[in-house]
Structure 1
Amino acid sequence: MDTTTERPAATGRSIVAGVLIGVGVAAFLDETVFHQLLHWHHFYDGSTLEAGLVSDGVFHAGGWLAIVVGLFLFADLHRRRTTVPRRVWAGGLLGWGLFQVYDGLFQHKVLGLHQIRYGVELLPYDLAWNLSGAVGAVIGAVLLFGPARPIAARS
């Protein structure tokens, strides 16, 4: 395989694998840190504690599903020796960053499913959450639009 060019299918699959892994990691960290360890909120805080816990379980399962599917795609790319590592990283950072911005702006503000915390001034938390996601997405976009090469096929 010519390592100076990317095959479009491998590039697209590398990006998709990265996005799924990035979304799953973001969901896992959100669920584990903010829902379970800190007890700041549940995925859905508009009802009972039981409903919040069930919504957390569904959210957690969805995050793990994204990671598992992304890892299967990544393993298939690796098996075929067509992985484009820079595109996997780009997709991962885009997936993580865009998930975080989507969560912070759409789920928190538009849908009102939950807030980052309750009983505190939200602006610093909102800024930290959304800006860190935006930085990840920008870095992912820079990686996405820069040159990359797939792993060379071994004979």
Structure 2
Amino acid sequence: MPAGGRSEVRPGRSLGAAALIGVALMAAVDEIVFHQLLGWHHFYDRSTPAIGLLTDGLLHTAELLGLVIGFVWWADLRRGRALSAAHAWAGLFLGLGGFQLFDGLIDHKVLRVHQVRYDIPDLLPYDLAWNGAGLMLLAIGAVLAVRARRSVGRER
């Protein structure tokens, strides 16, 4: 540790830890709200309901692991006084938006493992809202990342 007991701030690691938390948090919101509470879809809907439920459990396991690992990483940075709060906020929003857009484009449209909702006449409004929310979160994260990068010299 440098003189004065302060570690070097780690912007990239701060962004990475918070991005992992963001991905896991958005996966949890998706799984809890859209899979469980609303029952609109399962993670994998191209098989039996039992397989859909199993894949929801696997997604839940992955999101919990992501949250635990992300928060352990974040706490280690904070404990070592190496956390860049500005980069962490950027990472959180990039992770939230990244998951949302990946799910909306790759899972829904490319792989077709599930759709936002079934048994509706027009899926387009749901797709636009889903992917628009992801783009908005990514845009917020990008703006915060640019601001964080400009503030690196001021945090030390």
Query: Normalising to structure 1: TM-score of the pair?
Result: 0.90
The 8 Å contact of residues 15 and 91 in structure 1, kept in 2 or not, is answered as yes
| Unaligned ranges ≥5, structure 2 | 3-7
Deviation at 1:148, TM superposition (A): 2.9
**Superimposed CA distance per residue, residues 8-48 of structure 1 (whole angstroms, 9 cap, x where no aligned partner):** x7111101111100000000000000000000000000000
Is residue 148 from structure 1 mapped to residue 151 from structure 2 by the alignment?
A: yes
Percentage of matched positions with identical amino acids? 49
The question of whether the paired residues in 2 share the 8 Å contact of 1:87 and 1:148 is answered with no
Give the unaligned 5+ runs of structure 1: 2-6
Runs of 4+ in structure 1 deviating by more than 2 angstroms, as ranges, are 147-153
TM-score (norm 2): 0.89
- Give CA-to-partner distance per residue, 1:44-87, whole Å, 9 cap, x none: 00000000000000011111111111100110011011111111
Question: Are the equivalent residues in 2 in contact too, given 1:20–1:70 (CA < 8 A)?
Answer: yes
Q: How does 1:113-152 map to 2 (within 5 A)?
A: 113-120=113-120, 121-146=122-147, 147-149=150-152
Q: Which residue of 1 aligns with 2:47?
A: 47
What is the number of equivalent residue pairs in this alignment? Answer: 149
1:1-155 map, 5 Å: 7=8, 10-120=10-120, 121-146=122-147, 147-149=150-152
Quick check: 2:84–2:155 contact (8 Å CA) kept in 1? no
| 1-structure distance, mates of 2:76, 2:69 | 11
Query: Over aligned residue pairs, what C-alpha RMSD do you find?
Result: 2.2
Closer/same/farther in 2, CA of residues 119 and 138 from structure 1, 3 Å limit = same
Residue equivalent to 1:4: none
Q: Which amino acid aligns with 1:87?
A: H
Q: Give the SS at the match of 1:148.
A: helix
Task: Quote how far apart the aligned CAs of 1:134 are.
Answer: 0.4
